[in-house]
Structure formats: structure tokens, C-alpha cells
Structure 1
Amino acid sequence: MAAQYAIEGTTAKGIAASVERGVTEGGLAPGDALPPVRRLADDLGVSPGTVATAYKELRQRGLIVTRGRGGTVVAEVPSVASRRPPRVPEGLTDLAGGHPDPAFLPVLRPPAAVTPVYGSHRAAPRLAALEEATRRWFERDGVPARHVTFAHGALDCIARLLSTELRPGDAVAVEDPGFHHLLDLVPALGLRTVPVTVDDEGLVPESLRTALRGGVRAVVCSPRGQCPTGAFFTRRRRDELVAVLREFPEVLVVEDDHNAEVGGAAAHTLAAAGLDRWAQVRTASKHLGIDLRWAGVACDAVTLARHDGRMLMTSGWVSHVLQEMVADLFGDAEVRALVAAGEAVYSERRAALIGALGAYRIRAVGASGLNVWVPVRDESAIVNGLRTHGWWVAAGARFRIAAPPAVRITTATLAPGDAPRLAADFAEVLGDGQATYGG
């Protein structure tokens, strides 16, 4: 525990609040050790049971973790704050953000006039035109679309699904490495993350089976354009995963198909396999604009009822003004052509960097999506080394739980002509690191 911070309180809630205050204000940093239960109980003059109850609440809320003989420590990503990427230093080429190229995003044009309405849209939350377009969007890839709804983005949808389905302390299987905001979200909801290994084809079936046998209540994954590795389900892998999931029909399976339009990979989705409990969420952020906080959701009837029931009690509906914008974009032939051109360019740029790195015998993966994942031994050395050459890439620590170290390079704006220079700089930095750290 940080020497300058003293935990206070005479009740479990008071002790938990004191620890949370320390984390929020910086008195307790990620990795700082908390006192053993009996020692803190003696210091505060309370029973060990009171301290144990406080620690249990903090664990369920994702603020602390217990590491066996390593004791209880502040979580590396405490749920009171999400990991934010470091600010891009002045003058560097930003290849760390994971964002699409603005050149392939349409200009957003809000409706020219918005007619006032009496009351609210709770009774009719979805515009009929956008609902029908959303059904066609899912049905195009074989996803059942009898039950569809809308949300304010993928994470908004996933948070609502998990919070209505699970209870604090329940376990969620997540990809490792995986989407860093999801890795933050799960503990923030008071849930436990269980890592599932990812290879070039996505979730590894045996790793998923192990997680399911361990009692996870939900699985969250991406069928293509997986962040950060670019993995995508082949038909064979999809069928293997479905066979595993059928052994656990009560588990909710949530697919985040955020790269549906620009992933550069075919759709072999779990959502099309007839599972009992499932949902697939697709957003407009990657192909229509990051400021469009809208997502379409297809799911089973029970999941729909739970999602919409919770939404009715909170935000109620997605703005109809926003829905009109999305519906217009979906129906615009020029926008569809622009998105298709972007998908082709993104594939070319990914392949260019993977090929350039391969020329130096540097293994990189990125079969779909906007990023390339490069395994390394020392993330900091690579990030800092490339910085001296004018490149800014993302350290892999934000994206992984138990997976080996790597760096993520967003190739969405990396021109193929620049890939050889980046690869040469990467090889130089890697060579320097091997000489420094003993190869």
C-alpha cells in the first residue's frame, strides 16, 4: 500500500469508500498492495469480517484483485476510470488510434428540418425506415433479423446486455488480446473477465470450452476485424465454436461486428448458427463516422425484451434525428460506393505493412479490420524506439490480460508507399533492443 494513504472507516461501506477515494484521487495506484484483512481490522478496530466484506465489494466492482500469496492489490485498470491512450506527441505520425481514414467517411448532414413532437418517442422508439434497413443489413450475412433494436453504440449495447443478464461477481469470457474498452467495461460492471485465447481465426475452441466449464455466464467476441489482431472466423472455426457453445445453451453470446462494412472478410458469424441466447451488435462508427453513436442489434426474443426494457427505463430511445441521418446514409448509393472503396484500401494497406515487415522476418497478423498486431518481447522499447523515428504506435498492454506482449499498428491511414520505411525503422528498433537486452 502507498505509504502516504491511510485507509479509514468503521463499517464495510466506509472502508470500501475510503479505498475507492484513494484510487480515484491517486493515493492508491494500480498494483499498490492493500493490508491483509486481519492487519487492517486491527488498525481500524473492527472485526476481520467487516474488512473482508469491504474487500469483497471492491473486488466485485473491479477496483481490487486478490493474487493468492501475492495478496490483495489495486487493479491494474480500476473500474473508477477507463484506460485512456496517451496523447500523441507533437510531430509524430499517429498509428495508434484504431480509427478509420476520414477520406472514406461521408460528410454527415443532419435533417434540414426537425418537426417538434408532443411527448416522447418511448412508444415508438425506432424509425420504420431504419428498422427495415437494419433488418436487411443483418439478413445480408445470414443473421436472423426477426428481432432487432437500436443502441447508442456497441459498448452501450454490451453494457446493457451484461447488466441485465448477469449479477456482480459473475464471469464473462473475453478475447485475449481484445478490445481495451471492453476489458475496462466488464470489471466496471462488477463482473469478472475470463480470458480466452485468440489466434488468426479468432477464439480458440478449447480455450473457450475451458472458460465455459469454469462457469462464465456470457461470451463477448468479434467475428471479423477483431481488435487488436484482425482475426476473423473461418467457416470451420465458426462451426467448431458453435459445437462448444451448444454444450452451454444458457450462456449469452454477444458478437461485436463493428467492422462489418470495412473488415475485408466474409461473415461466418455465431449469430447465424441458431444459438439459444445470442445478440449481434453492429455500429456505424467505422464506416459512416465516429460521431454517429448508433448501433443496430439483432438478437433472440428474450435478449431483446431485457435490452429494451432496461433502455426504456434509462435513455428511452436513440435520437430520431440521429436515426434519420443513419437511414439517409444507408440509402445513399454514393456513400455505399465510398465505403466499399475504403474497405478495399484498408485491405491493401494492411497487406502492405504485413508484407514489408515480413521482408525483415518480423511476424505480424492482421487478416481483417484496421490494425496489424506485431508480437514483440518489450513493448515499451518498440514504442519508444519508433517514436524516435517519427511513428506513434500502441503498446499492447492495453489490449491483453494473459496474452504475450505485442504492439498494435493502425494501418487505416498508412499509405502503402510508407510501409517499407516503417518496417525498416521497426527492424532497426528491434535490432537495437535485441542487442541491448541480450537477443
Structure 2
Amino acid sequence: METGVRDGHLAPGDALPPVRRLAEDLGLATATVASAYRALRQRGIIETAGRQGTRVRHRFPVAHRGPAQLPPGVLDLSGGEPDPELLPGLGTALSRVPHTATGYRRAGPCPELADLAAERLAADGLPAGGITFANGALDAVEQALTAHLSVGDSVAVEDPCWGNLRDLVATLGLHAIPVPVDAEGPTPEGMREALRKGAGAAVVTSRAHNPTGAIITAARAASLREVFAEHPGVLVVEDDHWGELATDPLHPVVGGTDRWLFVRSVSKPYGPDLRLATVSGAENVIARVEGRMRMGSGWVSTVLQHLVLGLWEDPAVEGVVARARAAYDERRSGLIRALTERGVHCAGRTGLNVWVPVPDEASAVTVLRDAGYAVSPGSVNRLRSAPGIRITVSHLSRAQDRERVADAVAIALAPTLQLR
């Protein structure tokens, strides 16, 4: 089966035969096939989808041919990436990278960047902690989870959640316990239940929750801290990927337990290819993260660290980020307004995405693709939550484009809207 996935004969979403039937077809014991399916699930290649049976995961940790190309003329609103036109140029910052910023002796966190990162986090109200850097937000989360958990352990995960996190948890052989999300982030009741069920770690999103755009308010942060205080040994990881692009203040959840980690990548404001994330946390957690990195990738490129330092110290870049912040806010709020005017229920208080609940994801995605728009099915993000589609607003710079997308969504959901 893994060979079939690797060479493309088994595609993402393909259904696999039931264990008993496959065992009969191959002349094998049922337990043998069940064991193979279990191994494939633990490695993140297949998943059990309730009544839909067992299927190939939409993403899997083996080499494959990559995503299918979109038909000509289809606008991609599915990627979740920032608009390249709103990213700062790197030329000035690159020119300031010192020639001495290389070599094994300088490996590790750049002191100047670490000091500036600590100042920025303190200004946002984050509790004091150790500082290091990872190769992006997902790398930081992976290092922390693998350092504190073992295969088979459970993690409290927002539902819906960032698709890459869902995939990572499955690939690490961990069990995801879904925590419902509303407009203010993960619910305290859901988090308490997940921890009661034995979750050894929890991953939450500060702002611009992917895919719903939820933001953790001051009241919700206080409630979640109370829940975590009841389980001081649980690892709490907070992802603030929207960081510098946020218009709402940060209300940290971390800091009240023995094990916590706060992650803020530079991908959205400065570019996805800049694989760097600031990581702050309890000293014991930071030590484990750095220790695991040294056993693998070693450290984040010192050249890259100095490049980010140059961007942070450039007033002109600060202006570019401010313009991007305003542009994304306009695009997202504009699409939400257009959808609401057409009777379409949606969510997206912050961030790059708008979440639209739908009764049938496959149908909505197909109708919108035929209309010229590629959106992301919510199955990529969901565990047990209701179906939906995610629309990324990066490429909706013009008001007329947002109106046209809203028209297409309304047409795709027409039967549902009429029932309302």
C-alpha cells in the first residue's frame, strides 16, 4: 500500500478495502491485515474516517508526485499563503549580513536576534522565558512534542485546526483529542475534557486561527490558564503565527504551567521561505528543543538569523508590514461583508482565511472550482467538527473580486440558503 501511495496508484482520499475482505482476497489472516493497517495509521499514511471507512490521508510522509495542478483560469484561494506583493524586499537586509555569520563556532541562536525577540515578546505581555529559534513554527512544535511525548500519547488539538498540525500529530504516532473552537478560541470545557482524557500536551492558536479566524480573548485566556493550572505537568504550546500582522492584542495562554512553549514564525509578514520561528518557553522545555535540534538539523542558519535581524531593524520594512496588516484586514472583512449580504454564514475575525460552513464539502469545492475558484475542503482541518470550506483572501485585492467570489459561494450553497 505504501508503494501504491508513493507511485501514485493510490491517491489522497482513495478508499481502502475493509480488513476482513482484503484478508480474504489475499489469503491472509485477518489479524495480519489489521496489523498492517494499524502500522500505516501510526505512520500517518492512512486514516479511519468513520462510516467512510479507511482512506489514504490527504497528506502522507512519503515522497509522492505533489499536488495536482489547477485547471487553467482557476484562481487559487486554497493555499493559505501571504500575498507576495505585500512581502518586504530582502535586498537591504541581505546586504547587512556580516561575512562572519557562518561557521560552526557561531552555531546556535544569534544573541542580537534573541535579545530583540525577547523585547518584542515582552512588549506583547508574554511571560519571561528562554529564547531560541526553530526552522519554522511546525518544526518548533515537532521538537517540543517529540521531546515530551511518546508514540501512542495524546495531544489536545483544536477542532478544526491547522491542517499541517493535524498531519504532524498523526505522523508522530500521537493521538489527537479534539477541542471545540468558537470565536474566542478553544473552549475551556473542551480543553478540560481533553486533559481529563489524558492529553499530555495541548496546542492552541493565539490569533488568526486557521481556518476559522478565531482569536483568544482576555477572558478566554484567563479561563484556559485556569484549566491548565489544574494540570501543571502538561506541555502547553501556543502558536502566534499571525504575530506582527495582528490588529488585536495578544492574550497569552502560556506561562502558568511547568512546561510551556510560545512560537511565532516570520512566514506570514516576511515570507514563507524564511524558515525561522522565535521560540520562547520554560527553560526546561527550551533546553529539550535545542537538544533535539542539535541531534538533527543542528541549528537555524546563522545567515538567516542575521537576515531576519536586518528586517526587524529596518524602519522601511516596518512600514511594509503595516501596509500588509491593513490590506489583509480589508480583504478578509470585505469578503465576509459580501458573503453576509448574500445570506452566507461565515467566520474570519482575524488572519488570511474565511471559514464557511457547508453541508457537503465535496459538492461546494467542485461547484466553486467549476466557477473558477479553488478553495480548501475543511476535511483537511477537521477532526470531528462540522463540514466547511476555507477561502484564503491573499489574492482578493480588488473589491469586485471579493464580490464575485461571494456570488459563487452563494450559488454553490443555494439549496441550503433557500432552506433557511
Task: Note whether the superposition's TM-score is higher than 0.5.
Answer: yes
Corresponding residue for 2:299? 317
Match of 1:330 in 2: 312
CA distance in 1: counterparts of 2:343 and 2:276, whole angstroms: 41
1:401 is aligned, of 383, 401, 409, to 383
Correspondence list, 1:93-242, <5 A? 93-109=75-91, 110-111=94-95, 115=99, 120-121=104-105, 124-242=107-225
> 2:263 and 2:67 mapped to 1: Cα distance?
24
Q: Which of 260, 272, 282 is the aligned partner of 2:264?
A: 282
Contact 1:144/1:298, CA 8 A, preserved across alignment: no
Task: State the alpha-carbon separation in 2 of the partners of residues 67 and 94 from structure 1.
Answer: 27
Q: Distance in 1 between matches of 2:39 and 2:121?
A: 40
The change in CA–CA distance for 1:37 and 1:61 in structure 2 (over 3 A counts) is: farther
Q: What SS does structure 1 have at the residue aligned with 2:243?
A: coil
Equivalence for 2:360? 378
CA shift for structure 1 position 151: 0.6
Is the contact made by 2:134 and 2:300 (CA closer than 8 Å) also made in structure 1? yes
Note the C-alpha offset of 1:380. Answer: 2.4
Which region of structure 1 is more displaced relative to structure 2, 72-81 or 339-348?
Answer: 72-81
Could you report, residue by residue, the CA deviation over 1:157-196 in whole angstroms, capped at 9, with x for unpaired residues?
1111111111111111111111111111111111111211
- How far is 1:51 from its partner? 6.5
Question: Residue 76 of structure 1 corresponds to which residue in structure 2?
Answer: 57
Q: Contact 2:101–2:303 (CA<8 Å) still a contact in 1? A: no
**Structure 2 unpaired stretches of 5+:** none
Contact 1:36-1:72 at 8 Å conserved across structures? no
Q: How many residues end up aligned between the 2 structures?
A: 414
With over 3 angstroms needed to count, the CA separation of the structure-2 counterparts of 1:108 and 1:118, relative to structure 1, is closer
Identity, % of aligned positions: 41
- 2:339 counterpart of 1:350: no
User: Paired residue for 2:342?
Assistant: 360
214-223 or 411-420: bigger deviation: 411-420
Distance in 2, matches of 1:387 and 1:39, equals 39
Distance 1:39 1:429 in 2: 41
Structure 2 residue aligned with 1:266, among 249, 264, 272?
249
Task: Verify: 1:412 aligned to 2:389, yes or no.
Answer: no
Provide closer, same or farther for how the CA distance between residues 174 and 283 of structure 1 changes in structure 2, counting only shifts above 3 A. Answer: same
Deviation at 1:113, TM superposition (A): 6.7
| CA distance in 2 between partners of 1:319 and 1:300 (Å) | 23
> In the TM superposition, what is the alpha-carbon distance from 1:211 to its structure 2 partner?
1.1
Structure 2 counterpart of 1:8: none
TM-score (norm 2): 0.89
Q: 1:88 aligns to what?
A: 70
Cα-to-partner distance string for 1:268-291 (whole Å, 9 max, x where unaligned): 1112x4322110111111001111
Q: Is the 8 A contact 2:234 2:257 kept in 1?
A: no
Unaligned runs of at least 5 residues, structure 1: 1-18
Specify the SS of the correspondent of 2:117.
helix
What is the distance in 2 between the residues matched to 1:350 and 1:118?
41
Q: CA RMSD in A?
A: 2.9
Q: Which residue of 2 aligns with 1:299?
A: 281
**Paired residues of 1:82 and 1:184 also in contact (CA < 8 A):** no
Q: SS state of the match for residue 270, structure 1?
A: coil
CA positional deviation for 1:107: 0.7
CA distance, structure 1, for counterparts of residue 117 and residue 126 of structure 2 = 11
TM-score, normalised to structure 1's length?
A: 0.85
* Match of residue 13 from structure 1: none
1:388 and 1:232 mapped to 2: Cα distance? 33
2:290 matches 1:308: yes
Deviation at 1:56, TM superposition (A): 4.8
Which of 425, 433, 439 is equivalent to 2:408? 425
CA separation in 2, counterparts of 1:280 and 1:40? 50
The answer to whether the 8 Å contact 2:343/2:417 transfers is no
Work out which of the two has the higher radius of gyration on C-alpha atoms and give 1 or 2. Answer: 1
Tell me the CA shift for residue 20 of structure 1: 3.7
Which shifted more, 392-401 or 83-92? 83-92
